[in-house]
């Protein structure tokens, strides 16, 4: 079994829960030591989303099909993702080399989520003349019609959505599909790792994408739409295809590189997938250790939604905690105290954001460096509201594991009325 911090070298993780076997599965990029022995996409499984067991590679015989290699010259599989149709498990995988648009997304199928997966065909392939790059596939089903689609793309022309043939799993239309997210050349068009998830309670499709370099400044942004093909709009109503605004001012930023000083922080939290299991939501991504960025590992974090339907991610790795109702007699005991607070910056200038102290007093006052305000508690939603200088912040408070100090504590994840997320960890 692997560590509580998830699968080491689990890169670009895609989550899937199989009801028949009652396991959570993670499919990820060929990465880490002994890559040549692990070609074909990595598979891990878990019963609790905390401990993960490495099962092996996905593709049959651990080999990339010859027609895929011929076009891409790929030596490894990137970013596999899975969907089940009737009794067939369909694995969409990417093949390419760094900096190349000679790329392909292949489809392999199996009767088991543990494989082996046998190649059925190439869904789409690209060249330098193409308006998009054919990697990072995410299969998704339209809620209203049951139609199948594939969201994909990386750098160059950004993210697109392509209709699939439900019966074969291959492309159902010619061309490259519809553009749903892009970034300007000011950001070197750095956008990839798209993932679309529907939320029945809000009625929105949520588009998650990763900005910037996977080696350092990776961060996850989100927008939403009532239609699977978009347009996807962010917190401020800006379309994810907007090329006029500064490139970091489009998309709600929900992860950031961070350090709480003690222990080691994480940087490059990105290329995520999303799980809804028994009405609990989780964001799954990879991250790199602040003290040794060569090492990347799986991050599973609880995800909550604001009252107006925007996702918030927990500052702590998932350890089995649940949002709990806090009794009125316990509010001050739970909420009051000293916190470390990390404000998300839209423009990313450093690998790990560092915290400032925040004090919540029993008389309802709040103290930040150079700032005074007040706090309120909403017992119905386990929410803490902080108001100061015209800024209004709303948090969920929940139990969390303080991995830096190896203890349980309370954490808060929230957002202010300017659309900036904040993470807080209680120290006492």
Q: Residue 300: helix, strand or coil by DSSP?
A: strand
Are both 221 and 332 inside the same structural domain? no
- In-domain check, residue 117: yes
Looking up residue 253, the CATH number of its domain turns out to be 2.115.10.20
Are both 46 and 136 inside the same structural domain? yes
pTM: 0.96
Q: Look at the block and give the residue holding tokens 């203890």.
A: 407
For 285, other C-beta atoms within 10 Å of its C-beta total: 30
Are both 300 and 356 inside the same structural domain? no
User: 138-141 and 148-152: which strand pairing?
Assistant: antiparallel
Are both 225 and 347 inside the same structural domain? no
Which pLDDT does position 261 carry in this prediction? 87
Looking up residue 374, the CATH number of its domain turns out to be 2.40.128.10
Are both 46 and 191 inside the same structural domain? yes
Alpha-helical (H) ranges within 14-134 are 66-72
Are both 209 and 333 inside the same structural domain? no
Are both 179 and 56 inside the same structural domain? yes
Which pLDDT does position 3 carry in this prediction? 40
CB 198 within 8 A of CB 143: yes
Number of domains in the chain: 2
Q: What's the token pair of residue 374?
A: 């007040």
User: Using omega within 30 degrees of 0 as the cis cutoff, is the peptide bond preceding 231 cis?
Assistant: yes
Which pLDDT does position 317 carry in this prediction? 96
Longest dimension (CA), the chain: 69
Closest C-alpha among 368, 348, 362, 379 to residue 416: 368
Instruction: Determine the structural domain holding residue 367 and report its residue range.
Output: 328-426
Are both 168 and 304 inside the same structural domain? yes
With 0-12 / 13-18 / 19 or more C-beta atoms within 10 angstroms meaning exposed / middle / buried, residue 167 is exposed
- Which helix (H) or strand (E) covers residue 11, if one does? strand 11-18
Say how far apart CA 211 and CA 268 lie, in whole Å.
10
- In-domain check, residue 304: yes
The dihedral through the CA atoms of 388, 391, 397, 403 has a sign that is: negative
Boundary residue ending a domain (313, 346, 368): 313
Say how far apart CA 80 and CA 352 lie, in whole Å.
28
- In-domain check, residue 156: yes
- In-domain check, residue 61: yes
256 Cβ contact partners less than 8 Å away, ≥ 6 residues apart: 219, 269, 342, 344, 345, 348, 353, 421, 423
Boundary residue ending a domain (283, 313, 343): 313
393 Cβ contact partners less than 8 Å away, ≥ 6 residues apart: 385, 386, 387, 414, 415, 416, 417, 422
CB 7 within 8 A of CB 52: yes
- In-domain check, residue 86: yes
Which pLDDT does position 305 carry in this prediction? 97
Q: Look at the block and give the residue holding tokens 């895609």.
A: 14
Which pLDDT does position 2 carry in this prediction? 36
Q: Residue 21: helix, strand or coil by DSSP?
A: coil
Boundary residue ending a domain (281, 313, 345): 313
| pLDDT digits (tens), the chain, 428 positions | 334 444 788 999 999 999 999 999 999 999 887 666 768 999 999 999 999 999 999 999 999 999 999 999 999 999 999 999 999 999 999 999 999 999 999 999 999 999 999 999 999 999 999 999 999 999 999 999 999 999 999 999 999 999 999 999 999 999 999 999 999 999 999 999 999 999 999 999 999 999 999 999 999 999 999 999 999 999 999 999 999 999 999 999 999 999 998 888 999 999 999 999 999 999 999 999 999 999 999 999 999 999 999 999 999 999 999 888 898 889 999 999 999 999 999 988 889 999 999 999 999 999 999 999 999 998 877 899 999 999 999 999 999 999 888 899 999 999 999 999 999 999 98
Say how far apart CA 412 and CA 428 lie, in whole Å.
14
Q: How many helices (H) and strands (E) does the chain have?
A: 2, 28
- In-domain check, residue 288: yes
Are both 21 and 62 inside the same structural domain? yes
For 192, other C-beta atoms within 10 Å of its C-beta total: 27
Length of the chain: 428
Q: Phi and psi at residue 190, in whole multiples of 5°?
A: -75, 90
Q: Phi and psi at residue 205, in whole multiples of 5°?
A: -90, 130
- In-domain check, residue 322: no
Are both 167 and 228 inside the same structural domain? yes
- In-domain check, residue 4: no
Say how far apart CA 24 and CA 51 lie, in whole Å.
10
Are both 309 and 390 inside the same structural domain? no
Sort residue 282 into left (φ over 0), alpha (ψ -120 to 50) or beta.
beta
Which pLDDT does position 159 carry in this prediction? 98
With 0-12 / 13-18 / 19 or more C-beta atoms within 10 angstroms meaning exposed / middle / buried, residue 61 is exposed
């Amino acid at each position: 079994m692997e560590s509580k911090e998830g699968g080491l070298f689990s890169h670009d993780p895609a989550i899937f829960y199989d009801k028949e076997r009652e396991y959570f599965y993670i499919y990820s990029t060929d990465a880490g030591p002994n890559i040549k022995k692990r070609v074909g996409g990595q598979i891990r499984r878990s019963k609790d989303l905390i401990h993960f067991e490495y099962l092996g590679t996905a593709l049959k015989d651990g080999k990339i099909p010859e027609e895929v290699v011929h076009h891409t010259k790929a030596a490894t599989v990137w970013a596999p993702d899975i969907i089940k149709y009737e009794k067939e498990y369909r694995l969409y995988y990417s093949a390419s080399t760094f900096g190349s648009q000679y790329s392909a997304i292949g489809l392999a199928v199996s009767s088991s989520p543990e494989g082996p997966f046998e190649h059925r065909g190439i869904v789409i392939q690209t060249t330098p003349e193409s308006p998009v790059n054919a990697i990072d596939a995410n299969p998704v089903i339209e809620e209203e019609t049951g139609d199948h689609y594939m969201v994909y793309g990386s750098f160059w022309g950004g993210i697109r959505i392509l209709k699939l043939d439900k019966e074969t799993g291959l492309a159902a239309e010619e061309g490259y599909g519809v553009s749903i997210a892009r970034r300007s050349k000011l950001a070197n068009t750095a956008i990839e790792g798209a993932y679309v998830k529907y939320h029945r309670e809000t009625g929105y499709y949520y588009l998650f994408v990763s900005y910037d370099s996977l080696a350092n400044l990776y961060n996850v942004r989100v927008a939403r739409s009532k239609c699977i093909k978009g347009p996807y709009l962010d917190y401020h109503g800006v379309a994810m295809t907007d090329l006029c605004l500064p490139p970091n001012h489009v998309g709600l930023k929900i992860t950031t590189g961070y350090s709480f000083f003690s222990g080691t922080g994480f940087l490059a939290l990105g290329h995520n997938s999303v799980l809804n299991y028994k009405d609990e939501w989780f964001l799954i991504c990879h991250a790199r250790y602040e003290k040794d960025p060569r090492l990347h590992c799986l991050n599973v974090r609880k995800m909550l939604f604001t009252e107006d339907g925007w996702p918030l991610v927990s500052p702590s790795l998932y350890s089995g905690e649940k949002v709990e109702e806090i009794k009125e007699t316990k509010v001050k005991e739970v909420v009051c105290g000293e916190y470390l607070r990390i404000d998300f910056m839209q423009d990313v200038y450093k690998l790990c954001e560092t915290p400032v102290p925040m004090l919540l007093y029993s008389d309802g006052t709040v103290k930040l460096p150079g700032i005074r305000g007040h706090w309120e508690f909403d017992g119905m939603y386990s929410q803490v509201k902080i108001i100061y200088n015209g800024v209004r912040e709303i948090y969920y408070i929940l139990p969390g594991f303080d991995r830096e100090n190896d203890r349980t504590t309370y954490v808060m994840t929230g957002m202010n009325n300017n659309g900036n997320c904040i993470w807080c960890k209680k120290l006492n």
